[in-house]
Structure 1
Amino acid sequence: MSPVPLTVRGAEKLRAELHEMKTVQRPAVIAAIAEARAHGDLSENAEYEAAKEKQGFIEGRIAELEAKLSNAQIINPTLLNADGACVFGATIDLKDMDSDVAVTYQIVGDDEADIKEGKISISSPISRALIGKYAGDIAVVEAPGGIREYEILDVKYI
């Protein structure tokens, strides 16, 4: 598995999810399986089948989280010294050239991306257009909805 870039906050969120899966979700599904088994005939027991399916999902997610965390390349944006360039972890103030609307995004790992929180994935079209640019540059983004242009107003490492 290739390195998984994560911010410090993103790694903390994955660790918290893993802890919850192991200490809350896994024991709960084991108890549900035991209870369903107690009802008798397993061949026609929908509760048992549902609990086994949920157990498979939980175990798969635990394995996925452990793999991501073991291959994590954790980057602390406050320690970056990129001389004002747009890089992974940077928080960037942009202005949409068409609508004149200002937005702020942080470039994060795929697992951390949440547009509502202003966090965009490193693999998104806008991130790919921003990487390597500086304040004052224009980023041309080839998005599914068409070509958009953004002026980079400021790049912060917070």
Structure 2
Amino acid sequence: MIQIPMTVQGAENLRLELHELKSVKRPAIIQAIATAREHGDLKENAEYHAAREQQGFCEGRIQDIEAKLSNVQIIDISKMKNTGKVIFGTTVTILNLETDQEVTYRIVGDDEANIKNNLISVNSPIARGLIGKSVDDVANITTPNGVVEFEITAVEYL
């Protein structure tokens, strides 16, 4: 059984989504199916078919979340000693040596990744290039535009 690494916040977000699906969305879909059935002929009942499709998506997501939570390995980076090394869960600031542009990322699990919030997957090329390195190290990361050199300017265990 493969352990899925996840931050404390990521696991909590999945638990909240699971609760929402089971206690709010699932009952609403069941009600929508019941209401659509009252309209008669199910063969040509668009509301019924739409509700059944929603039910399939909802149940699939519930199963997906439950499977992930049963195999989760929660990593609380804030309880670890900061060694200055980039590992899962760290917040790392890197400097593009070509453009002098600085950016900060947090390395998280696949389900938590959201580039708009600077959360990158541990399996992303950037994270893979940074893991194991320390402050002041230079990482050569392959991007769609070729290899880019980044200097690690800060590593935080938040």
Contact 2:33–2:51 (8 Å) recurs in 1: yes
Q: 1:82: Cα distance to partner?
A: 5.6
**How far off its partner does 1:80 sit?**
2.0
List runs of 5+ in structure 2 lacking aligned partners: none
Does 1:14 find its partner at 2:22? no
Identity %: 56
Letter in 2 for 1:86: V
The one-character-per-residue Cα deviations of 1:30-58 (angstroms, maximum 9, x if unpaired) are: 00000000000111111111100100000
**Pairs within 5 Å for 1:16-55:** 16-55=16-55
- What is the distance in 2 between the residues matched to 1:126 and 1:80? 23
Match of 1:123 in 2: 123
Distance (whole Å) between structure 2 residues aligned to residue 147 and residue 120 of structure 1: 18
Say which SS state the counterpart of residue 94 (structure 2) adopts.
strand
TM-score (norm 2): 0.97
- The residue identity in structure 1 corresponding to 2:141 is V
TM normalised by structure 1 equals 0.97
Give the RMSD, CA atoms, in angstroms.
Answer: 1.0
Structure 1: gaps (5+ residues) = none
Residue correspondences, number: 158
CA distance, structure 1, for counterparts of residue 13 and residue 58 of structure 2: 17
CA distance in 2, matches of 1:135, 1:12: 30
Aligned to 1:3: 3
SS in 1 for 2:107: strand
The 5-angstrom pairing of residues 133-152 of structure 1 reads 133-152=133-152
| Aligned-partner Cα distance in 1 for 2:145–2:122 | 19
Q: State the shift of 1:20 in Å.
A: 0.4
Q: Which runs of 4+ in 1 moved over 4 A?
A: none
Q: In structure 2, what is the Cα distance between the partners aligned to 1:143 and 1:132?
A: 19
Deviation at 1:145, TM superposition (A): 2.9
